[in-house]
Amino acid sequence: MPLSRRDFTARTALAGAGVALTGAVGALATAPGALAADDSTQRDAQGRPCGPGYGPLLPDPAGVLALPEGFRYRILTHSGVTTLESGEPTPSHHDGTAAFAGARGVTLLVNNHELRGRRTDWVRPVPLAEGLVYDPAAAGGCTVVEVRQGGETAEWVGIAGTSTNCAGGATPWGTWLTCEETEDLAGRNGMTKDHGYVFEVDPHDRRANRDPQPVRAFGRYAHEAVVIDPRRGHAYLTEDASGPSGLLYRWTPPAGFRHGRGRLRTLAPDAGVLAAAKCFDNRGRFVDDLTRATRTGTVYGVDWVEVPDRDARTRSVRKQFGEGAVTRGRKLEGMWWGDGGAYFVSSFARSESPGAAHDGQVWFYDPKRRTVTLEVLFGVNADPSGGGAADGPDNITVSPYGGLVIAEDGEGVQHLFGATESGRTYPLARNELNIGTAEQPEYSEFTGVCFSPDGRTLFACLQDPGIMLAITGPWRRAH
């Protein structure tokens, strides 16, 4: 049933126009130049950090990761250095990751490897492990990293022969959904099968991953991330695409379907309803693009418009909608379920979008109210090489200590940063691994940000060359 203007107006009347309808994270009203030095360097009379973060980032003698005092990191996997159980090298280009509790205190991490196109184009593609290959021509896939209580690690292939495995999402039943950010059909770019799908990877049961099959019901497009509503069973998905910009999707399961390990792959290609978001303001006016929102706390109502052809054989899904039919967003990226809804990111927008330019938005979709709220907004970063302000949020997770932790994929210096419930940001880590030159330094984006099941360890990756890190320290609630 569409959300009427009357319904939406009634739900926002108590808050007043432009005031966020917030969950536990609250309205993260972040100003341009969000990584302000003041937020990480304030100290009390005893010299202890008293700002929202953990103090200034200290240079790393090893040249990998700058962290606040009292924090440390450990490298779990390193492409070209560590090896899989098979003896083959860890694949490169780490991306989306989630952590799961295994038996006897083990932590299991499923790690995407964002390798686009033919495997012959890459030095360290995901190995073609027997029985775990979808398309033998494709370079991407996932590995599973097992971290034991004593600190020992092991790594093996979860799925191979997929392409451009960017983000994804954990399921409530303990599996990983890996997303292909591509629309390549068989015969294009060397592929032997169609791509642009979501696949399920089970970190607990290697046998469950044999003969990988796409979840065709979720559609074929440039998938970025996905979350599952544990109460209603809906899947929410982001699309990172341009010309035109991508969409926010919702998949509604068919009547009688029950989620669980391995059940998604049993769905018919047309099972359930795949629909795209259509937003409108509290006056009932259609909102064509998320860049129209220029203030945190902006609330839009959401209707859902069914996708005509979800497998997009002749026309990309996002191109199947005419003007005024759906709401678009530039570079819809990471997504995480928390506080009863879905947080999702728009990484940046410039002249290709009809609204105001920005260097990052974080939105919250509330399925109960059927609204999206702009929680975090970054103004255009005028000096990304300066190392102060952040730009280009990408992967995201909800912190067990309150607020959000966001991986930066912008220009210049790259950070992990937190956003508090009170609306302030602070740096958690800085990438110091220069993959460029001394004259022209270059720093890879952060990816794969997530916490361990017990909340004691923050995992994150440096995409290039491909390093997975475990960060520990004196975590506390972020104010």
Q: Is residue 45 part of a domain?
A: no
Residue 303, strand partner residues:
278
Average pLDDT, integer, range 459-464? 98
Q: Is residue 139 part of a domain?
A: yes
| pLDDT tier at 28, thresholds 50, 70, 90 | very low
Q: Is residue 389 part of a domain?
A: no
For residue 318, the tally of other CB atoms under 10 A from its CB is 23
Mean pLDDT of the chain: 90
- Cα separation, 95 vs 143, in Å, equals 11
- Cα separation, 69 vs 58, in Å, equals 7
| pLDDT tier at 50, thresholds 50, 70, 90 | low
Q: Is residue 437 part of a domain?
A: no
Q: Using CA atoms of 311, 232, 324, 332 in order, give the dihedral in degrees to the nearest 10.
A: -70
For residue 354, the tally of other CB atoms under 10 A from its CB is 12
Q: Is the pLDDT of residue 6 over 80?
A: no
pLDDT of residue 39: 47
pLDDT of residue 174: 98
Supply the range of the domain harboring residue 164.
Answer: 84-186+196-203
Residue 96: φ, ψ to 5°: -50, 145
pLDDT of residue 390: 77
pLDDT digits 0-9 by tens, 188-245: 999 999 999 999 999 999 999 999 999 999 999 999 999 999 999 999 999 999 999 9
Amino acid at position 182, single letter: T
Q: Is residue 129 part of a domain?
A: yes
- Cα separation, 397 vs 338, in Å, equals 9
Omega of the bond leading into 244 within 30 degrees of 0 (cis): yes
pLDDT digits 0-9 by tens, 416-427: 999 987 667 899
Q: Where are the beta strands (DSSP E) in 314-445?
A: 328-329, 332-338, 341-346, 361-366, 371-377, 393-398, 404-408, 415-419, 425-431
Q: Is residue 234 part of a domain?
A: no
pLDDT digits 0-9 by tens, 334-354: 999 999 999 999 999 999 999
- β-pairing, 371-377 vs 299-306, is antiparallel
Q: Is the pLDDT of residue 69 over 60?
A: yes
Q: Is residue 127 part of a domain?
A: yes
**DSSP for 111-138?**
EEE---SBGGG-SSPPP--TT-BS-TTB
pLDDT digits 0-9 by tens, 245-287: 999 999 999 999 999 999 999 999 999 999 999 999 999 999 9
Q: Is residue 91 part of a domain?
A: yes
Q: How many domains does the chain have?
A: 1
Listed in sequence order, the residues at least 6 apart from 13 whose beta carbon sits closer than 8 Å to its beta carbon are none
Q: What is the pTM of this model?
A: 0.92
